[in-house]
Amino acid sequence: MKQRKGSLFVVSAPSGAGKTTLCWKLCDSLAWIKHSISYTTRSPRPGETNGVHYTFTDEDEFRSMITEGELVEWAEVHGNFYGTSKKMIEDMTGAGFDVILDIDVQGARQIKEHFPDSVLIFVLPPSMEALKERLAGRKTDSEDVIKMRLQNAIGEIKEYKNYDYVIVNDSLDTALKEISSIVIAERAKISKMEHERIKENFLKL
């Protein structure tokens, strides 16, 4: 019987809105969805593990991957490069897993071009003031970097209309329920049904 192909979910948000935490909690709560691990040239933050949170690499290797066409999307964000392996996505969805990516708005546009059926979800903070407080609370960025991230956030939020769903991450538990509902509903769409299995189990007397 033909293997059900997984769906691809793309989650974007301004830095500090909580999209990465939301995506990891989603993967912990639903067994059939996996988190795509992006490549990046930035240095690991405290607590980040290579091959788990990101695949950390240097700029020369990253540029080589671009040249070889190995990345389905890539972008330079805040002075660092980020990208997604096309083979990784195809292998996981081909095995029947849904895949979730948390990437910026530039990457989301590229993903949609390569995978038109992908589902785009935008995560908003409760307010710009709340976003500023969250960025400051991480204690990983200087004041100048925080100002740059807030300025960039305005441009990113303008892109929300290009997404299929919008979630306001005021309460993490509520946001998790909302994104879980989206994934479960998309999985139940008729286009994702295993029609041969339904025919075999229900339409034969």
* Beta bridge partner(s), residue 76: 81
1 within some domain: no
CATH code for the domain of 138: 3.40.50.300
Is the CB of residue 192 less than 8 Å from the CB of residue 93? no
Whether 1 has a pLDDT exceeding 80, the answer reads no
* SS3 of residue 178 by DSSP: helix
Q: Considering only 1-5, 94-98, 114-118, 129-133, which range has the smallest mean pLDDT?
A: 1-5
84 within some domain: yes
Q: Per the structure block, which two tokens stand in for 108?
A: 């989301």
Report how many domains make up the chain. 1
Whether 156 has a pLDDT exceeding 70, the answer reads yes
- The pLDDT of residue 141 is 81
* SS3 of residue 18 by DSSP: coil
Range of the domain at 139: 8-202
Q: What is the pLDDT of residues 34-76, one digit of tens each?
A: 999 999 999 998 899 999 889 999 999 999 999 999 999 998 8
* SS3 of residue 171 by DSSP: coil
3 within some domain: no
Q: 3 falls in which pLDDT band (50, 70, 90)?
A: low
- The pLDDT of residue 79 is 87
